[in-house]
Chain A
Amino acid sequence: MTKTADGDHADVLIVGAGQAGLQAALSLREEGFAGSIRLVGEEPMLPYQRPPLSKGFVQGTASADSLVLRPRSLLDELRVDIHCDARATAIDRARQELVLLDGRRLAYGHLVLATGSRARRWNGPGAELDGIMYLRSMTDAAALKERLGQACNVVVVGAGFIGLEFASVVAKAGLAVNVVEAADRPMARCVTPTMSALFRQWHEEAGIAMHFGARLAAIEGKAGQVAGVRLDDDRLLPADIVLIGIGGIANDELAAQAGLAVDSGVVVDELLLTEDPAISAIGDCASHPNVFAGARMRVESVQNAIDQGRTVAARLAGKPLPYRAVPWFWSDQGSLKLQMAGLVAQTDRLIEIGSRHERRFSLLAFRDGVFAGAETVNRPADNMLARRILAKPVPLGFAEAEAAGFDLKALAAAAPA
């Protein structure tokens, strides 16, 4: 194996070996970066895809090996010095060193924080019971999969992407599933009320019981095992598994302890650089100014991880460009392939194309007369075309879109006005 790093020094040291950290390393080499690259991750396995964990992996159709993003042979060939099972505990900014749990100090020329996010925990009554599960890492998913084999009743707390993907798998397997959500609709932070209403209907038709505006009073148990979820209106939902899917928290402690600004995430500028010119942050953990939101935000998505990895790599290879990649997301829930391009929150006009009755349609969302994004169901081509339209330097106006009959292919192909 070729060693890349000179002793304990690496020209670029990436903390966090998830999708973002790996992409930064790969893109550095694609950009022709010749220096040493070290990638440090706390999980025992090579970087892997997370999206299938709540679908194919837990269902048993995707193996752990099939989720590995790149083989070790490629990392060796590209001289990416990867350290799995290594937990970072501190950053010594003055000496430009990362401190590991085992006491090793890894010196860096530039440090990229790609530490990701973790599942928000349920801390109320019953939190210690066996059978309360989370779904973020492969370890989480493996435990959940094993337990699912003996389960009869599942309660999912949180009607977000992960919760609904898992609920769909469970319902398909013939188990009883209740979904409990504090908001008044599913995926409330990410999709339009129109889309929420349709997904609610479709999931209910598939046998998933949905409870909105519902809050947990306690998780109840018997002999240390989960037995049910008590809602604040005193209803008891029986459960031998409770999956908590109530969002993520940025792993920003390393940065905070090192005196860097954090604001529910590591604060970076449009170049993804922190206030320390030797430290960047990317992916789930990075609170960045997002041009599509017009605000600072943190995005947990494969797209954001990949594109921020590319952006930081290009800068470190001498091509600094602000981050302005079009956000896009997907969530496969049973037979419903939901995709989003752009950010559709607070849009004021929706145009529907395709057929919602056939569960193949798209909603084109406009804000102040400008195309802001698209939500598609089982129309993946529309998602790609919407991404391409959103990537253009000139926004698409409603009038222009209407004049083209909302033909996304023609609009994507048209030269910018």
Chain B
Amino acid sequence: MPTITFVRPDGERIAVEAGNTESVMLAAVGRQVAGILGECGGSMTCATCHVFVAPEWLDRLPPMSAAEDELLDATATERGHNSRLSCQIPLSEALDGLVVELPEMQI
């Protein structure tokens, strides 16, 4: 069961045991991690599950689709080089220990 750590803008760290959810977004909303909204339920429609991935993890994630890339251009907090939509990060044991930072705003 992978553990994902969400880091709030104020530095607070929230470790979540992801269980058998399918994505990092679902792991967050399943534990009411404030700062991940996921309003569209993961259909890549809303960009309210934006995260900044810790640099050492970036290359270990599946590549970004063109649609995700485009949607990241419209996030409420300006994207960085390490931005991803957490609904597009499928969970697996290989992601045990993943660290992502939460943006200031999602909408």
Contacts and interface: CB of A to CB of B under 8 A. Distances in A.
B32 A78 contact: yes
Given A71-B30, A339-B45, A381 B71 contact: yes
A303 B34 contact: no
A264 interface: no
Interface stretch (A219-227, A313-321, A382-390): A382-390
A1 B22 CA distance: 25
Provide the main secondary structure of the chain A interface: helix
Given A74-B32, A78-B32, A384 B43 contact: no
Interface in A334-371: 337, 339
Given A52-B43, A302-B40, A381 B19 contact: no
B45 A379 contact: no
Contact of B41 (A29, A51, A337): A51
Nearest to A413: B78
Contacts of B75: 384
Interface in A161-177: none
Interface string A184-227: 00000000000000000000000000000000000000000000
A327 B107 CA distance: 13
A332 interface: yes
B58 interface: no
Contact of A49 (B41, B46, B71): B41
Most B CB atoms within 10 A — which of A26, A51, A71? A71
Contacts of B30: 70-71, 73-74
Contact of A332 (B22, B29, B43, B47): B43
A378 B19 CA distance: 32
B41 A380 contact: no
26 contacts: A30-B34, A51-B41, A51-B43, A52-B41, A71-B30, A73-B30, A74-B32, A77-B32, A78-B32, A302-B39, A302-B41, A306-B39, A330-B40, A337-B67, A339-B45, A380-B44, A380-B45, A380-B71, A380-B74, A381-B47, A381-B70, A382-B74, A384-B75, A387-B107, A388-B74, A388-B107
Interface of B: 19, 22, 29-32, 34, 39-41, 43-47, 67, 70-71, 73-76, 107
8 smallest CB-CB distances across A and B, nearest first, come from: A381-B74, A384-B74, A49-B41, A330-B45, A381-B70, A380-B71, A381-B73, A71-B30
